[in-house]
Structure 1
Amino acid sequence: MLVLTRKLNEAIQIGDDIEVKIIAVDGDQVKIGIEAPKHIDIHRKEIYLSIQEENNRAASISSELLAKLSSQKK
């Protein structure tokens, strides 16, 4: 993990397309702004993990359903 120190209104550039800027600092909260191309999804980590879990659950249900349907045809 790369750890960088930034002050208010300073930014980090990721590649050519992504900029992360420190917008505000209030106590233990930091507000950041992210500029990135529209095709790049940006989520809070807990939301991203929830999406991944739901996708895995949906994929699992689909394969179970497919197996049931296949066994009913025989």
Structure 2
Amino acid sequence: MLVLTRKLNETIKIGDEIEVTVLAVNGDQIKLGIQAPKSVDIHRQEIYEEIRNENKSASQITLHAIDMLKQLPKKK
């Protein structure tokens, strides 16, 4: 993990297209601004985990449905 120190209004560049800027500091919270191409998904960690779990559940349901369909008698 790379650890950087930034002050208010300072920016971190990630590659050529992503910038993370410190917009505000209030006690133990900071506000970050992120500029990135629309093709880059940006989520808070807890939201990312929810999305990942939902996708995993959906894929398991789909696989289960496919298995059930395979067990149906075939029409002649």
**CA offsets, 1:9-39, max 9 Å, x none?**
0010000000000000000000000000011
- What's the counterpart of residue 9 of structure 2? 9
Q: C-alpha root-mean-square deviation of aligned residues, in Å?
A: 0.8
CA apart distance, 1:72: 1.3
In structure 2, stretches of 5+ residues that fail to align are none
> Using the alignment, how far apart are the partners of 1:12 and 1:45 within structure 2?
19
Cα distance per residue 1:22-57 (max 9 Å; x no partner): 000000000000000011111111001100000000
TM-score, structure 2 as length reference? 0.94
Match of 1:71 in 2: 71
Measure how far apart 1:73 and its partner are.
Answer: 2.7
Question: Which amino acid in the other structure matches residue 60 of structure 2?
Answer: S
Partner of 2:54: 54
Which portions of structure 1, spanning 4 or more consecutive aligned residues, are displaced by more than 2 angstroms?
none
Q: Share of identical aligned residues, percent?
A: 57
Q: Mark the structure with the bigger radius of gyration.
A: 2
TM-score where L is the length of structure 1: 0.97
| Structure 2 letter corresponding to 1:27 | G
Q: The residue matched to 1:21 in structure 2 has which SS? A: strand
